[in-house]
Amino acid sequence: MGNTIMRAIISRRTVLPWVFLVLVILAGALTTVAAAQETTPAVADRLAKLEKDVAQAQSSGDNAWMLTSSALVLMMTGPGLALFYGGLVRKKNVLSTMMQSFALMAIVTVLWAIVGYSLCFASGTSFIGGFGHIFLRGVGAAPDADYAATIPQQSYMVFQLMFAIITPALITGAFAERMKFSAMALFMVLWSLIVYDPMAHMVWGKGGLLNSSLGGRIPTLDFAGGTVVHVTSGVSALVCALYLGKRLGYPKESILPHSVVLSFIGACLLWVGWFGFNAGSALAAGSLATSAFVATHFAAAAAVVGWGLAEWLRNGRPSALGAISGAVAGLVAITPASGFVGPMPALAIGFVAGIFCYLMVARVKAAFGYDDSLDAFGVHGAGGTIGALLTGVFAASAVNPVFKDSAGNPRAVGLIEGNAHQLLNQLVGVVIAWSLAIVGTLVILKLVDLIVGLRVSPEQEVQGLDLSQHGEEGYNLEY
């Protein structure tokens, strides 16, 4: 009996610690599970916050680049183009010429806010946008993912505004020193609505006929405005020059630039500003912007060499005016290709453009005898056309895989990669731009001529447009 009781006590003493240990382990496990259950939502919240912060950082970086690019493009009009064109005219017309660029900064901005942006980028037909964004309705801090998913739509709107400003300003170089200021203002309002807005929508707008990334039936590659900006403005400039006729005394009298120094400064500002023009068209601060930046610079440099060599061979010496004209020609030609080609094709495009535009200015203009005062057609119309076509030759999927198959794999983009049809698409886009510019400009010129008259009187032209149109002089050497 005693032994039995003793064995029971010993057994209990042996088992109880094990039971206690098991209970402790179970309690710990339950505590761990409970802690894990409490921690999982906290980790998910932290991950979600991290993803939000990363997206916000990307958006902030992209937006900062786009606002900077917008400022750079505005700088291209004033002071860049204003100084470039202002130096090329006679001193009696310097203020009136610069005033045209400056006035368009204001006029086009107001027009853009009321209806211009909507006609370009709101949903509409294949040829023109609608009125969905009239008075900038719905254009705020939220992005429009179809155009730029990481920046506010208002940033996209103001960036595109700067293109709408400089495009008509380029035309003023063709009729410099002979058009009324009132006629210029009315002409540019109508031209923006009838020529620029439809072309911008066709190339860049949702559902536009020529849009290469948003369902266009004829996908035309135009990264930053070869057809939209330069072909339309350059061809319209030629039409204006032919319609208005020659300046008094041209070409018998020598009509020389009054200050190549001003033009030189303006050209340098244009070169710098063009980085916003082309690299900004990537719509984000990424590798595509870098590629466009490099292509832009290389093309401009090669065009200076091309123009300079052609001028040197013909005249026995290169000129400063030729150098800055060549730079602008290269910048024009690379504009449609800047987001689709690498550095070496950019050099080729710039070099070809420099020679081609020089021949247009030095030979073709002289042969036909038209008075394109500041060579707006010879540089922008011709340069934009050759650039748009060469884009179809050199565009590469390695730079920008704009075309993809049903599985999402990149397809050939340009002729050299095997997509010969793209060159035809580019040609169609150029033909449409030429046709719209010619017909639209002729109609507008006729209308403006009937309403206010286009050309200043011979007496006013002799006096100079600074005094006759604005009652001011650019240089008063008496004080």
Amino acid in the structure at residue 160: Q
What is the SS3 string spanning the chain?
A: CHHHHHHHHHHHHHHHHHHHHHHHHHHHHHHHHHHHHHHHHHHHHHHHHHHHHHHHHHHHHHHHHHHHHHHHHHHHHHHHHHHHHHHHCCHHHHHHHHHHHHHHHHHHHHHHHHHHHHHHHCCCCCCCCCCCCHHHCCCCCCCECCCECCCCHHHHHHHHHHHHHHHHHHHCCCCCCCECHHHHHHHHHHHHHHHHHHHHHHHHCCCCCCECCCCCCCCECCCCCHHHHHHHHHHHHHHHHHHHCCCCCCCCCCCCCCCHHHHHHHHHHHHHHHHHHHHHHHCCCCHHHHHHHHHHHHHHHHHHHHHHHHHHHHHCCCCHHHHHHHHHHHHHHHCCCCCCCCHHHHHHHHHHHHHHHHHHHHHHHHHHCCCCCCCHHHHHHHHHHHHHHHHHHHCCCCCCCCCECCCCCECCCCCCCCCCHHHHHHHHHHHHHHHHHHHHHHHHHHHHHHHCCCECCHHHHHHCHHHHHHCCCCCCCCC
What pLDDT sits at residue 9? Answer: 46
Other CB atoms within 10 A of residue 409 CB = 9
Q: Is the pLDDT of residue 20 over 90?
A: no
Q: Which two tokens stand for residue 431?
A: 């033909």
Q: What is the pLDDT of residues 143-192, one digit of tens each?
A: 999 999 999 999 999 999 999 999 999 999 999 999 999 999 999 999 99
What pLDDT sits at residue 15? Answer: 59
Q: Is the pLDDT of residue 2 over 70?
A: no
What pLDDT sits at residue 142? Answer: 96
Instruction: Summarize the confidence of residues 357-378 as an average pLDDT.
Output: 96
What pLDDT sits at residue 54? Answer: 75
Q: How far is CA 251 from the centre of its chain?
A: 35
**Quick check: 330 and 353 in contact, CB under 8 A?**
yes
Q: How far apart are CA 337 and CA 171, in angstroms?
A: 22
Q: Which two tokens stand for residue 38?
A: 């409490």
CB-based contacts of 359, cutoff 8 Å, min separation 6: 310
| pLDDT band at residue 4 using 50, 70 and 90 as cut-offs | low
**Quick check: 241 and 370 in contact, CB under 8 A?**
yes
Q: Which two tokens stand for residue 270?
A: 């244009």
CB-based contacts of 385, cutoff 8 Å, min separation 6: 231, 234, 430, 434
Instruction: Summarize the confidence of residues 271-299 as an average pLDDT.
Output: 98
Q: How far apart are CA 227 and CA 244, in angstroms?
A: 24
Mean pLDDT value across the chain: 93
Instruction: Summarize the confidence of residues 302-313 as an average pLDDT.
Output: 98
Q: What is the pLDDT of residues 208-217, one digit of tens each?
A: 999 999 989 9
Angle, helices 287-315/343-359, rounded to nearest 10 degrees? 40
| pLDDT band at residue 22 using 50, 70 and 90 as cut-offs | low
